[in-house]
Amino acid sequence: MNCPYPYGAPAASDLDSLFNPRSIAIVGASANPTKMGHQYLRQLLHFGFEGKLYPVNRSGGAILGVPVCRSFQDIPGPVDYVISAIPADQLPQLIRDSETKGVKLLQLYTAHLGETEQGKGLEAEIIGMARRAGIRILGPNCMGIYYPERKITFRMGWPREAGDVGLISQSAGHTAEAVYRAARRGLRFSKVISFGNAADINEVELLRYLADDADTRIIAAYVEGLKAPRLFHRALETAAKKKPVVIMKGGRTDAGKRATLSHTGSLTGGDVLWHSMVRQCGAVAVSSIEDLVDITLAIHSFPQPGGVNVGCIGAGGGVSVSIADECESRGLAVPPLPGSIVNEIRKLLGKDSSLVKNPVDTSVIYPAGWTETEVKRIFQFMGEHPDFHLFLVDGGEWPLDSPETLHRFHESMAVFREVARGMAKPVAIVVRPGDATEEWRWKATLEAEQRCIEDGLTVYPSIQRAANALTRLVGYYQDKVAEG
Amino acid sequence: MNCPYPYGAPAASDLDSLFNPRSIAIVGASANPTKMGHQYLRQLLHFGFEGKLYPVNRSGGAILGVPVCRSFQDIPGPVDYVISAIPADQLPQLIRDSETKGVKLLQLYTAHLGETEQGKGLEAEIIGMARRAGIRILGPNCMGIYYPERKITFRMGWPREAGDVGLISQSAGHTAEAVYRAARRGLRFSKVISFGNAADINEVELLRYLADDADTRIIAAYVEGLKAPRLFHRALETAAKKKPVVIMKGGRTDAGKRATLSHTGSLTGGDVLWHSMVRQCGAVAVSSIEDLVDITLAIHSFPQPGGVNVGCIGAGGGVSVSIADECESRGLAVPPLPGSIVNEIRKLLGKDSSLVKNPVDTSVIYPAGWTETEVKRIFQFMGEHPDFHLFLVDGGEWPLDSPETLHRFHESMAVFREVARGMAKPVAIVVRPGDATEEWRWKATLEAEQRCIEDGLTVYPSIQRAANALTRLVGYYQDKVAEG
């Protein structure tokens, strides 16, 4: 049998309606700010969830100004969605209570179920009960849903604006890391679903859901185990035909596999097989959250590149060498500047073009008397030239040495931004965080980065990561073309 | 011939005395703060260089309160060290002037020499002149010396305190990047020498110098080309016998080689040969500045590990999986917790130890009622157990979501710090910078990192980089043992 549900198939249900609750009950709500039973309520209030909110706790009273129901039965209205932050042994009663209230979706922050030896029996029991009651389960051992359009979140610090990246993840920590990092780089999310042990709603169902979700243009995923490899394969293939899918699997190694077993009770397969399976499906396999963000960002932001040739700009000789090395060692090409560009430079700018190479080193050409306008023209010549398909621009950090020289950094970045804005090819801009311990330095790089993002540009924090993202971007489209 | 000097061997001279000038002249000093001829003076004043400072410029007057000499001949006293920020064609005259003043070392910020077709002849000419005049040349096309003990620097933002890391680099940009990043992580420098085109003082001489330098305990290096491969090989081998040497070479790829040619005029060799040569010498080859810093830090800070087994601690299931995957995929081992530790935990703490595994996931054991004291004991048991040789501790970022939950992050870090301080084995602590756009978040991670460093601990910014550094640390000592 190839059923993706470990406890038998659920009745067909529409995840979209489950993720659009009119009311949410938080069972195990707490006045203690360090408890998730407090944080869920706080986060929903903070985002301004527009439906009804019902904290439930025997103590009664109010938490964060919201009246607390002493029991589930005391909830005055209907409840669509329940967040459970109570101990596992209280779940059977919660499911019975939920059934009488017509609950559609029960999200279990509650853990110590299928991921532990002792909890496996109880997990099977509660899933069976939920099936019979017509209730779908998210989790157990998961954080739930971040759905900015519906003002649902499980982190305070995430963006309120919605976007078009869909993310599903078996790990809440990885979800948090990915959303923070992606958000800083300008990505916004349609739906983010942390689904933990996947005892009911799982990777196959969620992949199908996001594949058909009109708000989702690209899918990022972190999975640990596959409930039904063949169905997953088919779901991934179908999804990847509709939109890009970037996917990371935990448990690549023996120790990693042992760790997935105690994290979400997942059994994972071999790493090499996994990578070829993902690629065969037309999706992109990655090995870290850093890569998940970097490569999702590249595929989300960039047009299809016409080839592997990278035009590079940086400030500094060593940096130019590193840019060239990082690109070519990964399979991209950093060709010499074509003669036609050299001629154009000579003709139009009337200057000796021998200092201008690929990578363009602005630390050589500015001191030789070239102006910003001329540097812009060189960059534009390269952008228009058919021999260049991708661009890697390094913002450098030399002028970040003192507040007095800082303006040179911003001026140089402004030149890069202006040209990159008008470019129809992928341009990866490197803004190195500079490892600042001084506040002005931290602020300067953050500001430079955020200006790029406001201009719709795409930033990477290091030359290596930019080169890696461009390489994977090219690979993604090469595979697509090869596949036909 | 195997002479490392492209223009013939210089008279033997003692670099140490060259790098200890009693007076420095800055020729081409400028009132314009964006010019290096201004910045050199400013930086030396800022650091409080204790010798005489003579800015030289035809305009006269004063720069930053220091009287300017209108010509080199006008300098009232003897000059040991000259920094040149004047155009290349004025160098022959400067060398003639320097000879009459008894200058020992001329550092050429001046570029457009051997790294360009047109400048090669002039470079040969000035080196020949300098040889005859008994003057040593650093550069051309280089930034010079950062020697905190002598209060000499070419960057404002670098630490004033001296340390025991020696760094030589053909790239000023890479030097700046390396020093900033290493300084943030607690490393301090004995001598840093940016030597550009290496037309006179070069990698062989500098390597020999740092190998014998009593203030230098570990050598980090960035080179682009080798003047005399056999002599370099011998110098590297000799140096690596005396102290650890971590070395990066630019120009690993065709495009990288072209870029080294226009950066420092260096011809570089094949990447694979290079790596095996470096390893054969007992040194460590790296491919990026990030790695140069990470691995220098590991070898500098950690004792020799007794094996490849890593004890891991993190907060979160996905994170535990990633730690295990990142370690084992690189060749380290993350073994299950030995039975003896499990027993000890049960015996001493009187608790069910089934939740405690390797990696230890504090997000599972704290909510199950384990106390901080108990987590400390688990970590200590592991530290004392002969089956564990290295440790990777992830500080996590889950509580960094809001200022209200932040204290949990610091509390958790305090536990890790306390145990790590008492550990006689390598402990890599990961403090993830959190990609913060909010100031409080940036400050929180910086503070956590700096507290570790004040405690003498070693931090890495990501799990991948920590796992990589531990792997290279093990490899370094394995090679040493194999070599006998």
Place of tokens 């000796």: A352
Q: Are B366 and B415 in contact (CB under 8 A)?
A: no
Q: Looking at the structure, tell me whether residues A70 and A163 fall in a common domain.
A: no
**How far, in Å, CA of A63 to CA of A26, rounded?**
11
B53: DSSP letter: E
Beta strand A62-63 with A66-67 is: antiparallel
Inter-chain CB proximity A174 and B319 less than 8 Å: yes
B76 vs chain A: nearest CA distance in angstroms?
Answer: 31
ipTM surpasses cut 0.85: yes
B402 vs chain A: nearest CA distance in angstroms?
Answer: 6
Largest pairwise CA distance in chain B: 83
Q: Looking at the structure, tell me whether residues A117 and A162 fall in a common domain.
A: no
Q: Residue B193: in which H helix or E strand, if any?
A: strand B189-194
Inter-chain CB proximity B357 and A434 less than 8 Å: no
Examine residue A140 and say whether the peptide bond preceding it is cis (omega within 30 degrees of 0).
yes
Amino acid at B278: V
pLDDT, averaged across chain A: 93
B48: DSSP letter: T
Nearest CB to A318 within list B263, B315, B336: B263
- CA dihedral sign of residues A15, A21, A27, A29: positive
Beta bridge partners of A427: A391
Partners of residue B115 in chain A, C-beta under 8 Å: 317
Residues in chain B: 484
> Which residue, among A476, A427, A479, A470, has the nearest Cα to A329 in the 3D structure?
A470
Nearest CB to B402 within list A156, A250, A432: A156
Range of the domain at A274: 145-301
Q: What's the CA angle centered on B317, arms A220 and B420, to 5 degrees?
A: 125
Partners of residue A308 in chain B, C-beta under 8 Å: none
For the cut 50, the answer to whether the pLDDT of residue A1 exceeds it is no
Beta bridge partners of B137: B106
**How far, in Å, CA of B176 to CA of B189, rounded?**
12
Partners of residue B263 in chain A, C-beta under 8 Å: 317-318, 320-321, 361
Nearest CB to A334 within list B115, B255, B321: B255
In order, the DSSP letters of B346-368 are: HHHH-S-GGG--SSEEHHHHTTT
Q: Are A138 and A144 in contact (CB under 8 A)?
A: yes
Q: Are B281 and B236 in contact (CB under 8 A)?
A: yes
Inter-chain CB proximity B322 and A181 less than 8 Å: no
Under 8 Å CB-to-CB from B263, ≥6 apart: which residues?
A317, A318, A320, A321, A361, B115, B170, B171, B224, B250
pLDDT of residue B380: 93
Inter-chain CB proximity A316 and B172 less than 8 Å: yes
Beta strand A218-223 with A162-169 is: parallel
Q: Residue B54: in which H helix or E strand, if any?
A: strand B52-56
Stretch A99-110: mean pLDDT = 96
Q: Looking at the structure, tell me whether residues A216 and A283 fall in a common domain.
A: yes
pLDDT of residue A13: 66
B82: DSSP letter: E
Inter-chain CB proximity A397 and B176 less than 8 Å: yes
Q: Does B430 reside within a domain? A: yes
Q: Does B2 reside within a domain? A: no
Last residue of a domain, one of B74, B108, B142: B142
B372 vs chain A: nearest CA distance in angstroms?
Answer: 15
Global confidence as pTM: 0.95
Among A156, A258, A321, most B C-beta atoms within 10 A, so best to mutate, is A321
Q: Is B40 helix (H, G, I), strand (E, B) or coil?
A: helix
Half-sphere exposure of B20 (CA within 13 A, CB side): 6
Cβ atoms < 10 Å from Cβ of B276: 12
Q: Looking at the structure, tell me whether residues B459 and B402 fall in a common domain.
A: yes
Partners of residue A267 in chain B, C-beta under 8 Å: none
Q: Does A4 reside within a domain? A: no
pLDDT of residue A437: 87
Render each residue's pLDDT in chain B as its tens digit; 484 residues.
457 787 777 765 689 989 999 999 999 999 999 899 999 999 999 999 999 999 999 999 999 999 999 999 999 999 999 999 999 999 999 999 999 999 999 999 999 899 988 899 999 999 999 999 999 999 999 999 999 999 999 999 999 999 999 999 999 999 999 999 999 999 999 999 999 999 999 999 999 999 999 999 999 999 998 888 899 999 999 999 999 999 999 998 999 989 998 888 877 777 888 999 999 999 999 999 999 999 999 999 999 999 999 999 999 999 999 999 999 999 999 999 999 888 888 887 777 788 899 999 999 888 888 899 999 999 999 999 999 999 999 999 988 888 988 999 999 999 999 999 999 999 999 999 878 789 999 999 999 999 999 999 999 999 999 999 999 999 999 998 887 6
Give Cα A448 distance to the centre of its chain.
22
pLDDT of residue B6: 77
**How far, in Å, CA of A371 to CA of B176, rounded?**
25
Burial B207-224 (b: 16+ CB within 10 A, else e): bbbbbebebbbbbbbbbb
pLDDT of A336-389, one tens digit each?
Answer: 999 988 888 888 777 778 889 999 999 988 888 889 999 999 999 999 999 999
Q: Are A362 and A313 in contact (CB under 8 A)?
A: yes
B62: DSSP letter: E
Under 8 Å CB-to-CB from B62, ≥6 apart: which residues?
B68
Q: Looking at the structure, tell me whether residues B376 and B448 fall in a common domain.
A: yes
Q: Looking at the structure, tell me whether residues B466 and B409 fall in a common domain.
A: yes
Last residue of a domain, one of B77, B108, B142: B142
Nearest CB to B263 within list A170, A172, A321: A321
B150 vs chain A: nearest CA distance in angstroms?
Answer: 20
Q: Looking at the structure, tell me whether residues B351 and B475 fall in a common domain.
A: yes
Inter-chain CB proximity B156 and A437 less than 8 Å: no
Cβ atoms < 10 Å from Cβ of A290: 20
Partners of residue A329 in chain B, C-beta under 8 Å: 252-253, 256, 271, 287
SS (HEC) of chain A: CCCCCCCCCCCCCCHHHHCCCCEEEEECCCCCCCCHHHHHHHHHHHHCCCCEEEEECCCCCEECCEECECCHHHCCCCCCEEEECCCHHHHHHHHHHHHHHCCCEEEECCCCCCCCCCCHHHHHHHHHHHHHHCCEEECCCCCEEEEHHHCECCCCCCCCCEEEEEEEECCHHHHHHHHHHHHHCCCCEEEEEECCCCCCCCHHHHHHHHHHCCCCCEEEEEECCCCCHHHHHHHHHHHHHHCCEEEEECCCCHHHHHHHHHHHCCCCCCHHHHHHHHHHCCCEEECCHHHHHHHHHHHHHCCCCCCCEEEEEECCHHHHHHHHHHHHCCCCECCCCCHHHHHHHHHHHCCCHHHCCCCEEHHHHCCCCCCHHHHHHHHHHHHHCCCCCEEEEECCCHHHHCCCCHHHHHHHHHHHHHHHHCCCCCEEEECCCCCCCCHHHHHHHHHHHHHHHHCCCEEECCHHHHHHHHHHHHHHHHHHHHHC
Q: Are B77 and B53 in contact (CB under 8 A)?
A: no
**How far, in Å, CA of A352 to CA of B195, rounded?**
27
Amino acid at B84: S
Q: Looking at the structure, tell me whether residues A25 and A164 fall in a common domain.
A: no
pLDDT of residue B415: 95
Query: Which tokens is A45 given?
Result: 């209030």
Partners of residue A141 in chain B, C-beta under 8 Å: 317
B158: DSSP letter: S
Q: Looking at the structure, tell me whether residues A69 and A216 fall in a common domain.
A: no
**How far, in Å, CA of B60 to CA of B231, rounded?**
46
Beta bridge partners of A392: A312, A428
**CATH number of the domain that A224 lies in?**
3.40.50.261
Give CA torsion, residues A32, A37, A38, A39, to 10 deg: 130
Beta bridge partners of A162: A189
Q: Could you tell me the end-to-end alpha-carbon distance of chain B, in angstroms, rounded to an integer? A: 32
Partners of residue A354 in chain B, C-beta under 8 Å: 116-118
For the cut 50, the answer to whether the pLDDT of residue A124 exceeds it is yes
Nearest CB to B324 within list A118, A259, A318: A259
Partners of residue A177 in chain B, C-beta under 8 Å: 397, 432
Q: Does A292 reside within a domain? A: yes
Inter-chain CB proximity B252 and A117 less than 8 Å: no
**How far, in Å, CA of B258 to CA of A221, rounded?**
40
Q: Looking at the structure, tell me whether residues A326 and A458 fall in a common domain.
A: yes
Place of tokens 């048991």: B381
Beta bridge partners of A325: none
Taking CA atoms, A215 is separated from A49, A151, A349, B249, B474, in Å, by 19, 15, 47, 47, 48
Partners of residue A263 in chain B, C-beta under 8 Å: 317-318, 320-321, 361
Stretch A441-449: mean pLDDT = 95
In order, the DSSP letters of B214-228 are: TT-SEEEEEES--S-
Q: Is B457 helix (H, G, I), strand (E, B) or coil?
A: coil
Inter-chain CB proximity B255 and A333 less than 8 Å: yes
Overall domain count for chain A: 3
How much of chain A exceeds pLDDT 90, in percent?
81
Give Cα B416 distance to the centre of its chain.
26
Query: Which tokens is B481 given?
Result: 């043992």
Q: Does B5 reside within a domain? A: no
Inter-chain CB proximity A368 and B112 less than 8 Å: yes
**CATH number of the domain that A80 lies in?**
3.40.50.720
A304 vs chain B: nearest CA distance in angstroms?
Answer: 24
Q: What's the CA angle centered on A432, arms A426 and A435, to 5 degrees?
A: 160
Q: Is B443 helix (H, G, I), strand (E, B) or coil?
A: helix
Inter-chain CB proximity A434 and B322 less than 8 Å: no
Q: Looking at the structure, tell me whether residues B132 and B207 fall in a common domain.
A: no
Q: Does B354 reside within a domain? A: yes
Examine residue B140 and say whether the peptide bond preceding it is cis (omega within 30 degrees of 0).
yes
Q: Does B64 reside within a domain? A: yes
pLDDT of residue A481: 81
Nearest CB to A321 within list B34, B259, B333: B259
Q: Does A395 reside within a domain? A: yes
Taking CA atoms, B241 is separated from B16, B28, B212, B214, in Å, by 21, 42, 11, 14
B340 vs chain A: nearest CA distance in angstroms?
Answer: 19
Amino acid at A437: T
B263 vs chain A: nearest CA distance in angstroms?
Answer: 5
Residue B350's region, left for phi above 0, alpha for psi from -120 to 50, else beta, is left
> Which residue, among A138, A129, A69, has the nearest Cα to A96 in the 3D structure?
A129
B132 vs chain A: nearest CA distance in angstroms?
Answer: 30
B361 vs chain A: nearest CA distance in angstroms?
Answer: 9
Q: Is B153 helix (H, G, I), strand (E, B) or coil?
A: coil
Last residue of a domain, one of A142, A158, A181: A142
Nearest CB to B255 within list A271, A319, A328: A328
Q: Looking at the structure, tell me whether residues B467 and B320 fall in a common domain.
A: yes
